Amino acid sequence: MKKLRKAVLPVAGLGTRFLPATKATAKEMLPVVDKPLIQYAVEEARAAGIEQFCMVTGRGKTALVEHFDVAFELEATLRDRAKSEALAALHGAQSEPGSIVTVRQQVPLGLGHAIWCARAFIGDDPFAILLPDDLVLADKPCLAQLAEAYYETGGNVVAVTEVPHEQTNRYGILKVGSDDGRLVEVTGLVEKPDPKDAPSNLSIIGRYILLPKVIDYLSRMERGAGNEVQLTDAMARLIGEQPFHGLRYEGRRFDCGDKVGFLEAQIAFALKRPDLADAVHAFLKNYV
Ligand code: UTP
């Protein structure tokens, strides 16, 4: 079994649900408290042993790459002014030289197409996918939990959570075989099924570890739900050929691509911060 070292971060979506904020700014640069979504994803990946990153970007997304660059003038100014706290805050926003590459998805044809755009980076290796707009608050980072499941099963693993039955048409949904309460065997996958056709209410969240074979199926460019090239459809082809499991991770997911989910994340993450928790708690209590 190969070691997991690579992660793909698809960030080429249009972020239409967040207009006008995303007119000139990438959705993945929106901050939760004081850190952009993309940095949460990169830090979570690093904590799971990821060393190489590929961002699949599109037009207007250069800030995402610049965020991980050395900001020479800013750092020199902060040093001159003895702003040590501000300097320390920049720490997680730096990357090992050469550890982040970008590829371009010229037209957003869907998540599956975005992953296919990273095929040269993926090569013959297992790889993680993190969708930065899914944020997971957890004691042990979600991707590290998933990596453990990958080393346990040697196959494809996706993080899963239960969603309200009437919302299955928003997510990729699992058909479930054996289930030990933590790991579930995936026997089928359907993208955004109507609640009446949904095989379960277990949904995939934006954390995956996949074997490179999935690229062969993505190469067929078959269109699925919403006329997009769906990652879920390509993954479904792997079932029966390779081990495929869902992991009920420990933690709470916030869908930051959605306005309510984004606001919930601000509150939940602020309440976890020792420097902010008391003030935010007091405000909420009085305001509500
Ligand atoms: P979403 O489904 O949230 O789409 O994509 P979106 O365009 O970002 O946002 P809305 O729905 O218009 O508001 C999930 C993830 O897949 C990436 C997005 O950047 C996001 O991280 N994605 C999606 C791509 O990189 N390319 C695509 O063609 C589609």
Distance between Cα 11 and ligand 1 center (Å): 7
Ligand 1 neighbour 22 (Cβ under 6 A): no
- Residue of 271, 227, 262, 268 whose CA lies nearest to 132: 262
Distance CA 58, CA 10 (A): 10
Ligand 1 neighbour 106 (Cβ under 6 A): no
- For residue 229, the Cα-to-chain-centroid distance in whole angstroms is 18
266: phi then psi, degrees, rounded to nearest 5: -55, -45
Q: Which residues of 7-29 are buried (b: 16+ CB within 10 A; e: fewer)?
A: bbbbbbbebeebeeebeebbbbb
Look-up of token digits 């590290």 = 144
Find out whether the peptide bond into 20 is cis, omega within 30 degrees of 0: yes
pLDDT tens for the chain, 288 residues long, are: 899 999 999 999 988 999 999 999 999 999 999 999 999 999 999 999 999 999 999 988 889 999 999 999 999 999 999 999 999 999 889 888 889 999 999 999 999 999 999 999 999 999 999 999 999 999 999 999 999 999 999 999 999 999 999 999 989 999 999 999 999 999 999 989 999 999 999 999 999 999 999 999 999 998 888 889 999 999 999 999 999 999 999 999 999 999 999 999 999 999 999 999 999 999 999 998
pTM confidence score: 0.95
Q: Which of 27, 111, 231 to mutate to test the pocket of ligand 1 (most atoms within 8 A of CB)?
A: 111
Q: Which of 29, 59, 133 to mutate to test the pocket of ligand 1 (most atoms within 8 A of CB)?
A: 133
Ligand 1 neighbour 248 (Cβ under 6 A): no
Ligand 1 neighbour 257 (Cβ under 6 A): yes
pLDDT value at residue 94? 85
pLDDT value at residue 226? 86
pLDDT in tens, 160-192: 999 999 999 989 999 999 999 999 999 999 989
Q: Which helix (H) or strand (E) holds 77?
A: helix 72-80
**Contact between 195 and 78 (Cβ < 8 Å):** no
**Contact between 229 and 110 (Cβ < 8 Å):** yes
Look-up of token digits 């997304």 = 61
Distance CA 210, CA 219 (A): 15
Dihedral over Cα of 262, 269, 31, 145: its sign: negative
